[in-house]
């Protein structure tokens, strides 16, 4: 229980909380302008819990696309969650951890939690890490639920310039928090190559451009790491 | 309550097009990742791929901007992010300083353009 409270209070220790707050103000406002109900958008914050996916979902549905089209767009954007979950869960496991103990943690994993786990978990004793992450996740979701509600209520009074500024927050914060998170040469290369490759791959219009550019750039980055390790050995 | 949540159809769409597409990937990660050890070499590759896919999401928002961001000229979007990154590096990796600087460049540029 102490670890849960510790995790929850860690919400106040990161500037990413502010970024999330502003992003969810924007999501609340976007939902209002696209004629969704408050309950619907709060449900999306709680259940979807991924900023870009929610923006895609609301804007595609709001522009009159079918649910199937929206589902495809969201599914593609959510692929990144798979390697994030695979890479962060080993930080929390103990030999006695069962898979079901990790279900809620897994739901909370999105960019912010992924980045913050790498920063915060090394300071937490291993057997407390799941409780800590539950606290951190609950804290972040609560902040975002408040922001969603505020944004929804304020929507009519927000200037258009504010909307553009909020949409720029996501790439800016993703870029900087991932850059801070880089620990090995492979991470830095993956970030740089991933940004450089996407515009090229997107010219192919495959529908899974992000997957192609991501796996390619990530694998090249890993190759460089492997080659360097081997040269050193 | 029905006014608060809207139509059952809209909620069904939320679950099918919003919740499930995300949760499927997360739970797949839980399923396949359960046996991976913290120090294993596979994890270095998986993390590189996660980082590169995220980099793709960043690039996509900048190259194919959604909503109101599409009203900002290309050079200003790229310039704002470049300025944010430069300040981030100069301030010994302060995310706060970087994000604020990038936003200031965007707002100042938009204001200057009128």
Q: DSSP letter at B39?
A: T
Burial of B70 (0-12, 13-18, 19+ CB in 10 A): exposed
Measure in Å the smallest separation between the Cα of B84 and chain A Cα atoms: 7
Q: DSSP letter at A65?
A: -
pTM: 0.87
Hey, is the C-beta of A55 within 8 angstroms of any chain B C-beta?
Answer: yes
Contacts of B61 in chain A (CB under 8 A): 52, 167, 170-171
> Does the ipTM surpass 0.85?
yes
Contacts of B62 in chain A (CB under 8 A): 171
User: Are A75 and B85 within 8 A, CB to CB?
Assistant: no
Q: Which two tokens stand for residue B45?
A: 């590759």
First to last CA, chain A: 45
**Residue boundaries of the structural domains of chain B:** 1-35, 40-67, 72-114
Burial of A122 (0-12, 13-18, 19+ CB in 10 A): exposed
- Minimal-distance CA residue of chain A relative to B69: A164
Cβ neighbours for A22, distance < 8 A, ≥ 6 positions apart: A147, A166, A169
Closest CA to A147 of A4, A3, A27: A27
Nearest-10 Cα torsion for A20, A26, A29, A34 = -110
Give the span between the Cα atoms of A190 and B69, in whole angstroms: 26
Contacts of A113 in chain B (CB under 8 A): none
Q: Is the dihedral angle over the CA atoms B35, A84, B26, A193 positive or is it negative?
A: negative
Quote the pLDDT of residue A201: 93
User: Are B54 and A178 within 8 A, CB to CB?
Assistant: yes
Hey, is the C-beta of A71 within 8 angstroms of any chain B C-beta?
Answer: yes
Report, as an integer, the average pLDDT of A158-180. Answer: 88
Nearest-10 Cα torsion for B39, B44, B45, B49 = 130
Measure in Å the smallest separation between the Cα of A231 and chain B Cα atoms: 16
pLDDT tens, residue by residue, A30-49: 899 889 999 999 999 999 99
pLDDT tens, residue by residue, A121-166: 999 999 999 999 999 999 999 999 999 999 999 987 878 788 889 8
Give the span between the Cα atoms of A7 and B55, in whole angstroms: 27
Q: What percent of chain A has pLDDT over 70?
A: 100
Q: Which two tokens stand for residue B31?
A: 């399923």
3-state secondary structure of A93: coil
Quote the pLDDT of residue B62: 93
Cα→Cα distances A128→A60, A101, B61, B104, Å: 40, 12, 37, 40
Q: What percent of chain A has pLDDT over 90?
A: 63
Quote the pLDDT of residue A133: 97
Measure in Å the smallest separation between the Cα of B22 and chain A Cα atoms: 5
Report, as an integer, the average pLDDT of A105-112. Answer: 94
User: Are A161 and B107 within 8 A, CB to CB?
Assistant: yes
Quote the pLDDT of residue B2: 59
Hey, is the C-beta of A75 within 8 angstroms of any chain B C-beta?
Answer: yes
- The answer to whether A80 and B54 are in contact (CB under 8 A) is yes
- The answer to whether A74 and A210 are in contact (CB under 8 A) is no
DSSP per position, B70-85 = GGS-HHHHHHHHHHHH
pLDDT at A208 over 90: no
Please give chain B's pLDDT, 114 residues, in tens.
557 777 888 899 999 999 999 999 999 999 988 778 777 888 889 989 999 999 998 999 899 887 788 889 999 999 999 999 999 999 999 999 999 999 999 999 998 987
3-state secondary structure of A197: helix
Report, as an integer, the average pLDDT of A165-191. Answer: 90
Task: For the beta carbon of residue A125, count every other beta carbon within 10 angstroms.
Answer: 9
Quote the pLDDT of residue A206: 81
pLDDT at A18 over 80: yes
Task: For the beta carbon of residue A138, count every other beta carbon within 10 angstroms.
Answer: 16
Quote the pLDDT of residue B106: 95
């Amino acid at each position: 229980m102490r670890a849960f409270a510790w995790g929850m209070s860690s919400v106040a220790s990161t500037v990413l909380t502010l970024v999330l707050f502003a992003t969810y103000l924007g999501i609340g406002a976007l939902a209002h302008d696209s004629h969704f109900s408050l309950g619907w958008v709060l449900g999306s914050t709680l259940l979807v819990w991924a900023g870009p996916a929610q923006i895609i979902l609301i804007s595609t549905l709001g522009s009159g696309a079918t649910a199937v089209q929206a589902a495809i767009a969201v599914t593609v954007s959510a692929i990144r969650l798979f390697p994030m979950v695979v890479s962060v869960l080993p930080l929390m496991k103990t030999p006695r951890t069962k898979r079901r103990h990790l279900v809620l943690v897994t739901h909370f994993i999105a960019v912010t939690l992924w980045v913050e786990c790498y920063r915060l978990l090394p300071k937490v004793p291993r057997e407390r890490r799941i409780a800590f992450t539950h606290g951190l996740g609950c804290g972040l979701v609560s902040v975002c639920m408040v922001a969603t509600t505020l944004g929804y209520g304020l929507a009519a009074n927000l200037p258009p310039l504010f909307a553009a500024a909020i949409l720029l927050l996501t790439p800016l914060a993703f870029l900087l928090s991932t850059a801070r998170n880089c620990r090995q040469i492979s991470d830095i290369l993956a970030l740089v190559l991933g940004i450089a490759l996407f515009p090229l791959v997107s010219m192919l219009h495959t529908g899974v451009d992000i997957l192609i550019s991501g796996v390619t750039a990530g694998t090249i980055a890993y190759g460089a790491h492997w080659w360097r390790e081997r040269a050193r050995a | 309550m029905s006014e608060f949540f809207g139509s059952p159809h809209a909620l069904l769409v939320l679950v099918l097009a919003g919740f499930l597409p995300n949760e499927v990937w997360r739970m797949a990660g839980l399923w396949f990742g359960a046996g991976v050890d913290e120090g294993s070499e596979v994890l270095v590759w998986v993390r590189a791929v996660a980082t590169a896919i995220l980099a793709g999401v960043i690039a996509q928002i900048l190259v194919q901007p959604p909503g109101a961001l599409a009203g900002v000229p290309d050079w200003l979007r790229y310039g704002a992010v470049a300025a944010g990154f430069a300040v981030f590096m100069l301030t010994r990796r302060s995310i706060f300083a970087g994000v604020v600087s990038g936003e200031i460049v965007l707002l100042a540029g938009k204001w200057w353009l009128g």
